[in-house]
Amino acid sequence: MTIPWYHKTTIYQIYPRSFMDANGDGVGDLRGIIQKLDYLKDIGFEAIWVSPFFASPQRDFGYDVSDYLSTAPEFGTMEDALQLIEETHRRGMKIVFDLVLNHTSDQHPWFLESRSSRHNPKANWYLWRSPSLPLGEGLGVRVKPNNWQSMTGGSGWHYAGERGQYYWASFLPFQPDLNWRNSEVKKTMFDIARFWLAKGVDGYRLDIFNTIYKNEEFRDNPFAFKLAPTPNDPSGFLQKAKYSQDQPESFDLAREFRKLTDEFGKILTVGEVAAAREVVRTYAGEETNDGLTLVFDFEMLQFKFTAEYFRALIEDIDRHFSPPFMPVYVFSNLDKRRSIHRLRDDIRKAKLLAMLQFTVRGVPCTYYGEELGMTNLDLPFKNALDPIPHKYTFAPRLFFDLMDVTVNRDEVRTPMQWDESRNAGFSVAEKTWLPVHPNYPTVNAKRENADETSLLNTFKRLLKFRRENITMQEGLLELLNGLPKNVLGFIRKTASEERIVLMNFDERENEFPLDSSECVFKLSGNEELDQKAVRLNGFGGMIVK
Ligand code: NOJ
C-alpha cells in the first residue's frame, strides 16, 4: 500500500501579515511569501499552509472573510495569489489554503442582507433566533435564545434590531455563523472550496471545523465545572459544549467534504478541532480514512518536556491514528504561545523537540519562526490589536498564565525575523503592523543560516534526513522499553528497514547498552556509539540502523 503525499508531507504555517512585506506598508503580503519560497525550500519543508488572505475587514486578521473569491488588497491581488500557487509548485512544493467554513465577517454582503429583515433571500443563511421570552420585549426585558457560550467567553448570541432577533457567533461577535442546514449555504461554500481547488491549491486547513453544525433545536448546554476551554476539551465558561460543538452532522460533513476534494485528486484537508482525541479521530473517519485526511490534535500544544510525557503521548496518538490514519504533530500555532516558551528558551531543548517532531510517525506542522526559536513578545492587553484580550482587560495577566491560556495572540504573531537590518528585514516601513521582537539581532534567519549548530540548521538536517529515509515518512512506530528513565526511544520500520530513534530528555548525559552498529544521525554531534553502548549527551539524540 502506498501512503498518499498528504500523510507524509511536512507543513510550514505562514501567517501572511507577519511573514514578509514586499510593498513596504508594514504588513506582510503574498509577494513577500513568493520572495521567501526559496528559504522554505532550502529548509526542506514540502508544503506551506497560508492563513487567510481573502477580502476581509481584518477585525480577526482574515478569519473574518467578506469575500472568499477575492484577495484583501493589503495582501495582494488575485494574480499574486495565482502566482503564489504557481511558484510554490515550481519548487516542487504543495500549498494549502485556510478555509473558514463556520462563519463569515459581519460585513460580508450575505450577512448584511440577512440581517436587514426577516424576509429576504438570505434571511435564513445565518442562525437567527428570537428572544426566548417574546413577551418580555414589551417590558424592555430581552432574553437570549439559550445559554450557549461563545468559544472566547460570554454569550455568542448578538441582537440585531433590524430583525428583532439574535444571531449566533461561535467565536467573536463580528463573525456570525453560517446556517449549514440551509442547502444553498452548503452549496455555495462547497463551490468556494471547488473554486480554489480548480486553481491548483493542494488542500485546505479547515478553521474550527467542529463548530459548523449546532444542535437543531438549540438545546441548552449542561453545566460543567470548567472555567476555560482547553486544547482537548471545548467545554468552558461553566458549561459543556454538548449542543454547540461536535454534532453528528459535523462528522458527516467531514466525509462529504472529502468526497468533494476527491474530485480533484489527492487533496490534503486538515481540520482544526479542539476536542478529546477520540473525537478528533472521528473527523478523519471511523474505520477507514474517508473523512478529513488529517486533524490537528491540540493536547500537545501544552506539552511537558519529559520523556515520560512524550512516551505516553506518542503511545496514545499512535493507537488512535494507526494506519490508515495519520496523526499531526504540532507544538505551536497562531493562537498559542510559542513552543520555546515551554522550553524556557533553551535551544538545546528546541532541537530535541524538532527531532521528535520530524522523526515520529506523523505529519509535522511548524509555525513560522519556530525554526529560529522565535519567542513570544509580552504585550499589554489594553493596546492589543487582537480583539480577544479586550474582553479580559479586567483580569490580571498572571491568572491566565497560571491557567496556561494564551489570550493576547499578538504575542505570537510578531514579524518574522529575517536578518539584523531594520525591522528584522521584514519590512522597510516606518512602522510594522506589530512590533518586531527586540531579540531579532541575535534570533534571525541570516545569522542562524551561517551557524552550523543553529536551530535552523538542525531543522534542515532533520528534514533532509526525513526526506532521504522513506522509513521516517512511512514506517510504523514501536516504542522501546527498558531505556533509562529520561530517554525516549522508538523504532520506525517498513518491511525492508528499521531506524531506531533515541532522545535524551535529561540535562545530564545518559549511557546505555544497545546492539547496533551504525549511527546515521547525531543531533548535537557529541553523541557516541560503540559496538555495545550508546552515550547521549544532555538533550542529545541519535538515530541508528
Ligand atoms: C481559529 C483560528 O486559528 C483563529 O486564529 C481564529 O481567530 C478563529 N479560528 C476564528 O476564525
pLDDT digits (tens, 9 = 90+) for 78-129: 999 999 999 999 999 999 999 999 999 999 999 999 999 999 999 999 999 9
**Ligand 1 atom closest to Cα of residue 100:** 11
> Is 70 exceeded by the pLDDT of residue 1?
no
pLDDT band at residue 67, thresholds of 50, 70 and 90? Answer: very high
Nearest atom in ligand 1 to the alpha carbon of residue 102 is: 11
The CA distance from 387 to 473, in Å, is 39
Helix axes of 347-359 and 455-468: crossing angle, nearest 10 degrees: 10
Q: Is the pLDDT of residue 136 over 90?
A: no
Ligand 1 closest atom vs CA 388: 7
Q: Whose CA is nearest to atom 6 of ligand 1?
A: 63
Residue of 56, 60, 332 to mutate, ligand 1, most atoms within 8 A of C-beta: 60
Query: If you measure from the C-alpha of residue 64 to the centroid of ligand 1, how many angstroms do you get, rounded to a whole number?
Result: 9
Answer whether residue 141 shows pLDDT above 90.
no
Does the pLDDT at position 134 exceed 80?
Answer: no
Sequence-separated (6 or more) residues with CB below 8 Å from residue 104: 64, 65, 66, 110, 111, 175, 176, 178
Instruction: Find the 461 Cα to ligand 1 centroid distance in Å.
Output: 32
Q: Are 197 and 261 in contact (CB under 8 A)?
A: yes
> 42: closest CA among 469, 465, 470, 460?
460
Nearest CA to ligand 1 atom 5: 335
Q: Region 126-146: what's the mean pLDDT? A: 85
**334 C-alpha to ligand 1 centroid (Å):** 8
Atom of ligand 1 minimally distant from the CA of 333: 3
Q: What is the whole-number distance in angstroms between the Cα of residue 269 and the centre of ligand 1?
A: 16
Q: Looking at ligand 1, which residue's alpha carbon is closest to its atom 8? A: 63
Q: Rounded to the nearest whole angstrom, what is the distance from the C-alpha of residue 280 to the centroid of ligand 1?
A: 17
User: Whose C-alpha lies nearest to ligand 1, atom 11?
Assistant: 63
Position 322 confidence tier, pLDDT thresholds 50, 70, 90: very high
Active centre residues (catalytic): 207, 263
- Centre of ligand 1 to C-alpha 169, Å, is 13
In angstroms, the CA 184 to CA 204 distance is 21
Please report the atom of ligand 1 found closest to the CA of residue 61. Answer: 7
- Whether 113 and 104 have beta carbons less than 8 Å apart is answered as no
The answer to which of 122-136, 171-185, 325-339 has the lowest mean pLDDT is: 122-136
- DSSP conformational letter for 383: G
- Binding pocket residue ranges, ligand 1, CB within 6 Å: 60, 63, 100, 171, 207-208, 272, 334-335
Domains and CATH numbers, the chain: 5-105+183-212+245-462 (3.20.20.80), 109-168 (3.90.400.10), 474-544 (2.60.40.1180)
